[in-house]
Amino acid sequence: MVSRDTAARLRISAAVAAALALGGCTSDDHRGQGGDPPGPPPAAPSPSASTDPLADCPATGIRIRSTGGDAAMGLRALGLELVNCGDRPYQLNGYPVLHVFDEQREPVLLRVVNGGKEITSGFDQPPREVTLAPNERATAVLLWRNLVTDSTVVATNGEYLTVAPAAGQPAEEVDPDGPIDLGNTGRIGVSAWKKAEPSAPAPTRPARPPAPSAVPSSVSTPDGRL
């Protein structure tokens, strides 16, 4: 019988395999929101007026957007895509920098883990230098669990998300494709940027494989589902 965690990991792996092929491991993480130096949080994002996230290329020469999310037995995954929409090469070497905001657009305090080692296995790869020519893309994935393990701790829900390509770089508001429902885990994992295959189409919402046939009843999510 396939275990709950193994079944969930296999389902998420299938959902983002088109954008990511991750292996290896890393031990770095960054605390707070995105691991920025101590100081006031960034300004809360404002609603975007454009309906097409790639319609206009910013002065930075890049555009970041989400490619859709998936969920499996409390394990969540959200794909990210960075497009070089400028006219010169763009270099990456590291992890996306995240900031999560609640429905009042107030910052949500959480720990951002480099890689998925504290969330699930199979989504860790050390960062490598990536050079994107114009119109080339890089991808990454966010991972978290919707779990409540302590009824005395209020569950955390993020409604808005900003992503920067690296620390100290301008951030863009990104559609999280639903709530970032962290339960009371207080952490979210993020993979390193990885260059997308030139022939691969821009990923949209990940496909949903069939649900596993057996679901253990030992862990429940905030909404009461097993």
As a whole number, mean pLDDT of residues 76-102 equals 96
Give residue 44's pLDDT.
52
DSSP 104: T
Give residue 179's pLDDT.
92
* Cα angle 23, 200, 122; round to 5: 15
For residue 88, pLDDT over 90 is answered with yes
CB within 8 Å of 57: residues ≥ 6 apart: 63, 85, 86
Distance in angstroms (rounded) separating the CA atoms of residues 103 and 156 = 11
Q: Is the pTM of this model over 0.75?
A: no
pLDDT digits (tens, 9 = 90+) for 3-45: 545 444 545 544 444 334 333 333 344 444 444 443 444 555 5
Between 72 and 119, the more confident residue is 119
pLDDT digits (tens, 9 = 90+) for 118-153: 888 767 788 999 999 999 999 999 999 998 888 888
